[in-house]
C-alpha cells in the first residue's frame, strides 16, 4: 500500500519569480551588462544560442500581464506567491522615488490578495540601480544605508506582511565577486567577503527597522541558497573534513551572519554537491565532483530529492519556521518536473513528520524566465512561455502540483497520475 504524505493545515502552496527575470524592460546594472556581454556569451556557447538569448528585453512582459499570470496561478491551486520589487524602478536616481512605480507594485499586491493569494515580497533579487553600481555597488558600505532608505520607503508605501529582504546573498557575492561570473565580473575573495558582510549588515538594519515600524504584525527573513553536500568517497576522512568545511562556508556561515534576525528561514534548494579533497597531480584543495550516474536537469544540476530532507533537518536546530522559497529545475521537455516536485515534497513531508516546522513551498518558477547569464534557454516554469507571442501555457507537470496543493498532500491518485 502506498504511503500518503500530508502537510499541515494552512500550508502555503505557490511559486516564485523575480522582477528582472520576468517583468521586462528594466534598466539596471544587469541590463547594461547584458548588452556588453551578449556577443561573448553567444561565442562561449559555440554559437548554439544567439546574442539575443542573453538580452532580457521584454522578458515575459509580466509587468503588464501580471493579472493574467495570477489568474493562472490561482487556477493551479496556489494560495501564495513570491515576487520581487525592482529597486531600479522605485529609485532610478539617488533619492528620487518614482511614485508611479510604487503604485504599480501596490496594484500587484492587491491583485494577488483579490485572488486569495498571499504575497511574499523580496526587496532585492540581485539587480541594482545604475547609480548604486556607479558608487561601487555592494562593496561600498554606503549602499547599506541606501538600501535601508529604499526599504523604509517601501514599508511606508505598501501593505506587506511577509518580507524577504535579500535573495541568496552568498550566491550573489560568490558569482559576482569571487568567480567573476556575474557583473561586475570580479575574482577576489576579499572583495567577495566584503560584499557578503555588507549584504547581511543591510538585512539586519532592515530587520530592525521593519519590526520597529510594524511591530510583530509582520515576518521578515532572507532566502538562503543551501546545499546538501556528500563526500565523494564515503570512507575517506579528508573528503568528510572537506564537506564539513564547505558546509560552514556555504551554509552555516550565512545563518550566523544573519545574527538571529530572521523570523523565518527561506530555503532555496536545488541540487546535490559531491565534495572531494584533491591532492596530487599539481592540484591541492577541495573540488565539486560530478557524478555522471545521477539524475540531472537540463543545466546539468544533479537532482537529489532526499537532500532537501537533510538540509531541513539541519536547519531545525535554529528553531525557526522554514519556507522553501525556491525549488525547481530546468526541464524544457517537461519529462522530469512532475517527479521532481513529487519526490522533493515527499521528503519535505517526512521532515515535517519528524518535527521540522516547514510552512510553505514555492516552486521555481511560475513562468519560464530569463536565467541570468544563461539567458532564455533554461526552462524552469510551471507555465511555458512562447517568447515570440508571449502566450502562456501550463505544462502537464503543473497538474501534478495542482493535485498536491488541492489535497494538501500526496495521495495514491497523485502518485498514479505521475507514474502514467
Nearest-CA neighbor of 372 among 25, 26, 31?
A: 31
CA distances 342 to 81, 363, 402, 414, 416, Å, are 19, 11, 11, 9, 11
Q: Which residue has the cell 599539481?
A: 282
The neighbour count for residue 249, using CB atoms within 10 Å, is 13
Nearest-CA neighbor of 396 among 307, 306, 336, 318?
A: 336
Interatomic CA distance for residues 336 and 330, integer angstroms: 9
Strand pairing class (264-268; 283-289): unpaired
Q: Which residue has the cell 485572488?
A: 115
3-state secondary structure of 370: coil
**For this structure, is 168 an active site residue?**
yes
Q: Which residue has the cell 529597486?
A: 87
Which residue among the candidates 326, 343, 403, 418 is catalytic per the annotation? 326
Question: Do the Cβ atoms of 175 and 181 come closer than 8 Å?
Answer: yes
CA distances 23 to 27, 38, 88, 223, Å, are 11, 19, 13, 20
Interatomic CA distance for residues 417 and 90, integer angstroms: 45
Strand pairing class (272-280; 283-289): antiparallel
**For this structure, is 326 an active site residue?**
yes
Question: Do the Cβ atoms of 121 and 164 come closer than 8 Å?
Answer: yes
CA distances 160 to 118, 119, 187, 229, 233, Å, are 9, 7, 37, 35, 47
Interatomic CA distance for residues 23 and 15, integer angstroms: 15
What angle, rounded to 10 degrees, do the helices at 337-353 and 412-419 form? 150
CA distances 326 to 17, 288, 363, Å, are 9, 22, 5
Which residue among the candidates 34, 168, 262, 343 is catalytic per the annotation? 168
Residues annotated as catalytic (active site), given as ranges: 168, 326
Amino acid at each position: 500500500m502506498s504511503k500518503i504524505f500530508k502537510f499541515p493545515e494552512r500550508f502555503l502552496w505557490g511559486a516564485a519569480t523575480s522582477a528582472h527575470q520576468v517583468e521586462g524592460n528594466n534598466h539596471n546594472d544587469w541590463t547594461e551588462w547584458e548588452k556588453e556581454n551578449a556577443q561573448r556569451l553567444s561565442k562561449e556557447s559555440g554559437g548554439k544560442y544567439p546574442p539575443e538569448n542573453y538580452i532580457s528585453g521584454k522578458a515575459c512582459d509580466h509587468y503588464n500581464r501580471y493579472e493574467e499570470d495570477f489568474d493562472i496561478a490561482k487556477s493551479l491551486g496556489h494560495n501564495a506567491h513570491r515576487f520581487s520589487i525592482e529597486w531600479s524602478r522605485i529609485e532610478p536616481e539617488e533619492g528620487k522615488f518614482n511614485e508611479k512605480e510604487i503604485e504599480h507594485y501596490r496594484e500587484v499586491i492587491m491583485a494577488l490578495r483579490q485572488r486569495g493569494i498571499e504575497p511574499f515580497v523580496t526587496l532585492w533579487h540581485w539587480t541594482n540601480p545604475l547609480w548604486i553600481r556607479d558608487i561601487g555597488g555592494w562593496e561600498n558600505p554606503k549602499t547599506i544605508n541606501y538600501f535601508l532608505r529604499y526599504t523604509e520607503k517601501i514599508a511606508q508605501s505598501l501593505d506587506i506582511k511577509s518580507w524577504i529582504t535579500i535573495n541568496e546573498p552568498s550566491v550573489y557575492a560568490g558569482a559576482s565577486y569571487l568567480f567573476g561570473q556575474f557583473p561586475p565580473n570580479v575574482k577576489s575573495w576579499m572583495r567577495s567577503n566584503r560584499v557578503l558582510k555588507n549584504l547581511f549588515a543591510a538585512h539586519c538594519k532592515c530587520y530592525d527597522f521593519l519590526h520597529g515600524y510594524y511591530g510583530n504584525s509582520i515576518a521578515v527573513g532572507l532566502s538562503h541558497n543551501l546545499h546538501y553536500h556528500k563526500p565523494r568517497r564515503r570512507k575517506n576522512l579528508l573528503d568528510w573534513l572537506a564537506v564539513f568545511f564547505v558546509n560552514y562556508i556555504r551554509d552555516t556561515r550565512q545563518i550566523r551572519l544573519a545574527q538571529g534576525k530572521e523570523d523565518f528561514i527561506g530555503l532555496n534548494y536545488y541540487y546535490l554537491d559531491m565534495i572531494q579533497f584533491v591532492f596530487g597531480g599539481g592540484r591541492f584543495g577541495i573540488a565539486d565532483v560530478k557524478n555522471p550516474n545521477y539524475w540531472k536537469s537540463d543545466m546539468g544540476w544533479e537532482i537529489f530529492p532526499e537532500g532537501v530532507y537533510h538540509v531541513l533537518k539541519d536547519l531545525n536546530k535554529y528553531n525557526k519556521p522554514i519556507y522553501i522559497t525556491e525549488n525547481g529545475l530546468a526541464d524544457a521537455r517537461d519529462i522530469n518536473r512532475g517527479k521532481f516536485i513529487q519526490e522533493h515534497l515527499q521528503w519535505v513531508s517526512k521532515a515535517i513528520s519528524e518535527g521540522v516546522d516547514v510552512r510553505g513551498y514555492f516552486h521555481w518558477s511560475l513562468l519560464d524566465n530569463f536565467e541570468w547569464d544563461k539567458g532564455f534557454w533554461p526552462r524552469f516554469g510551471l507555465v511555458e512561455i512562447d517568447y515570440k507571442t508571449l502566450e502562456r501555457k501550463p505544462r502537464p507537470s503543473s497538474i501534478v502540483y495542482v493535485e498536491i496543493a488541492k489535497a494538501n498532500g500526496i495521495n495514491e491518485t497523485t502518485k498514479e497520475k505521475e507514474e502514467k
